Amino acid sequence: MKINQQDPELAKFYQAELQRQRHTLEMIPSENFVSEAVLEALGGVGTNKYSEGYPGARYYGGNQYIDQIENLARDRAKQLFGVDHVNVQPYSGSPANQAAIFSVAKPGEKIIGMSLLFGGHLTHGWKINFSGVYYNAVQYQTGPDGILNYDELEKIVKAEKPKVLFCGATAYPRLFDYKRIAKIVHSVGGYFIADIAHECGLMAARVIPTPVGHADIITTTTHKSLRGPRGAMIMCNGKPAHPLKPLAEDENPRENLPTLIDRAVFPGLQGGPHNHTTTAIAVALGEALKPEFKIYAQQILNNAHALAGSLMSEGLVLATGGTDNHLMIIDLTNLGIGGKVAENALEEVGITANKNTIPFDKRKPYDPSGVRLGTPALTTRGFKEDEMKTIGQLIAKTLKNTKNETVKEEIKKSVLAMTDKYPLYPNLRYV
C-alpha cells in the first residue's frame, strides 16, 4: 500500500516538501539531493533487520546478506578515500565525532577544536555540547581576517597539550593545512581528528587536499558533498583486531585505532546499525567511484568560485574575501541587516540559505551578521557558472531590497524559471 493510501494526511505534507525542493534554489552547503537509487535503498528491507556487532561477529542470526552489504560499503569507502579501515555504522556526524573522541580520550581529558562562532562544529568542544561537558574543552579561533593562523594555533596547542585536536568546520571557506596541523598536535603527543563532513565529496574526488596520511582519525557524514544518505563514517589506517575484544596491556593504542574506533561505536555508544542507511551509503559510494563524480566535484568548486565572484561584483562582502571550497559567508554588516532578515528574505523569493556568524561577530548567534551559501545541491541539479553568476545577482538584489515586495516578487519569478529548467525527481509523487 502506498503512503497516500495508508496516510493521506502525511502524504500531503511530503508532497508539499517535494514541491518546495523542486521550486527553490537549495543553497545550504550541508544539503544535497541524493539519486533515486539512494532513495530506493533508504526505503528498502534493510530497515527490518537487527545487526548488533560487525560482519562475522554479530549478536543476531540471519545477517549473512547484511554482512555482505556492510563489507561492500566499507570496501568502497576504503578504495575511495585510500584508507585501511572504515566504520560505516555511526548514525550521523555528531555520534561519529562522539565515538572518535571516546575511542582515544577519557572523560575529563583535554580536547581542542575550532570555536563554533568562527566556523567550527558543536561537537568539537562547544561548551553546551557533550564534547564541552564531558571533556576539558579549549577552543581556537581564526584571525581578524577570518583565516586560521597556524602559528597561533601552535602556541595554543603547546600551552594546552590536548589529548585530541579537532580540525574541521561547518562555516570555514578556506582549506586546512593538514600536514601542518598534524605536526603541531603530534608534537605534544595528541591525536589529530579531521572532521571532513562538508568537503568529503570534494576530497573523495581529489579536487581538494585530503587529511589521509596526516590525521589519526577522519570522521565524515555521508550526505553533503558526498551526495549520500544521512549517515556517517569513521576512517583510519591500521589493521583491526577483533572489534569486541579489548587490547592487551602491551598493545600500543596508536597502532590499534581501528579496534578502538569499532569498540567505541559498538558496544561503546550504539546498538544495532541502520542497515537501510548502510545500504544507501554503499550505493552513494559506488556512485562516487565513477569518473563522472570527479567532474561533479570539480563543478561544485567552479560554481562556488563563480558565485563568490558574482556576489562580490555586486558589492557584497564575503568573509575571508572569497572561498577555496564549496561554501561562502556573506558579511551583511555594510547592508545594515542581520542574518535572520537575510535568511527570511531569501526564502521568500525561493532561495534557501542559513544565517551564520562571521568572525568576531558583534551580533548574537541567533541573529548573526552573516548568511551562509553553498553550491553542492545546485550543482547536482545541473547548474553551472553562468547560472551561478545570475543567482549571485538575484541574491544581491534580494538583500538590498528586503522590504520591497515588488522587487522580491520579480526575483521569485526568476527563481521559478531557473528551477523549472532543471527538474528534480520528475517521476516522484506522493499524492
User: According to the model, what pLDDT value does residue 253 have?
Assistant: 72
Does the pLDDT value for residue 148 go beyond 90?
yes
Average pLDDT over residues 19-34: 98
Exposed, middle or buried, 263 (CB in 10 Å: 0-12/13-18/19+)?
A: buried
Distance (Å, whole) CA 158 – CA 19: 52
pTM of the model: 0.95
Does the pLDDT value for residue 273 go beyond 70?
yes
The pLDDT confidence band at residue 359, using thresholds 50, 70 and 90, is very high
User: According to the model, what pLDDT value does residue 243 have?
Assistant: 58
Same-fold call for 10-34+292-421 versus 43-288: no
Residue 218 has φ and ψ, to the nearest 5°, of -125, 130
- Name the strands in the sheet holding 232-236, side by side, starting at the edge strand that comes first in the sequence: 85-87, 232-236, 217-221, 191-195, 164-167, 110-114, 136-140
DSSP state, 321?
A: G
User: According to the model, what pLDDT value does residue 316 have?
Assistant: 98
Does the pLDDT value for residue 250 go beyond 70?
no
Beta strands in 183-319 (DSSP E): 191-195, 217-221, 232-236, 317-318
End-to-end CA distance of the chain: 13
Beta strands in 70-151 (DSSP E): 85-87, 110-114, 136-140
pLDDT tens across 97-107, in order?
Answer: 999 999 999 99
Distances in Å between the Cα of 285 and the Cα atoms of 236, 241, 273, 318, 362 are: 17, 25, 18, 33, 41
- 3-state SS class at 220: strand
Residue 154: strand pairing partners: none
The pLDDT confidence band at residue 83, using thresholds 50, 70 and 90, is very high
Sequence-distant (6+) residues with CB within 8 A of 358 are 146, 319, 329, 331, 333, 368, 369, 370
The pLDDT confidence band at residue 188, using thresholds 50, 70 and 90, is very high
Of all residues in the chain, what percent carry a pLDDT higher than 90?
94
Distance (Å, whole) CA 311 – CA 31: 21
Of all residues in the chain, what percent carry a pLDDT higher than 70?
97
* Domain at 10-34+292-421: CATH code: 3.90.1150.10
Average pLDDT over residues 18-28: 98
Does the pLDDT value for residue 245 go beyond 90?
no
Domain boundaries, the chain: 10-34+292-421, 43-288
* Domain at 43-288: CATH code: 3.40.640.10
Distance (Å, whole) CA 152 – CA 87: 33
CB 374 within 8 A of CB 304: yes
Does the pLDDT value for residue 186 go beyond 90?
yes
User: According to the model, what pLDDT value does residue 255 have?
Assistant: 76
- Please provide the average confidence, as pLDDT, over all residues in the chain: 95
Report the catalytic residues: 50, 52, 195, 221, 224, 230
User: According to the model, what pLDDT value does residue 357 have?
Assistant: 96
User: According to the model, what pLDDT value does residue 311 have?
Assistant: 98
Higher pLDDT, 144 or 219: 219
Distance (Å, whole) CA 236 – CA 201: 17
Distance (Å, whole) CA 178 – CA 159: 20
CB 202 within 8 A of CB 301: yes
Does the pLDDT value for residue 327 go beyond 70?
yes
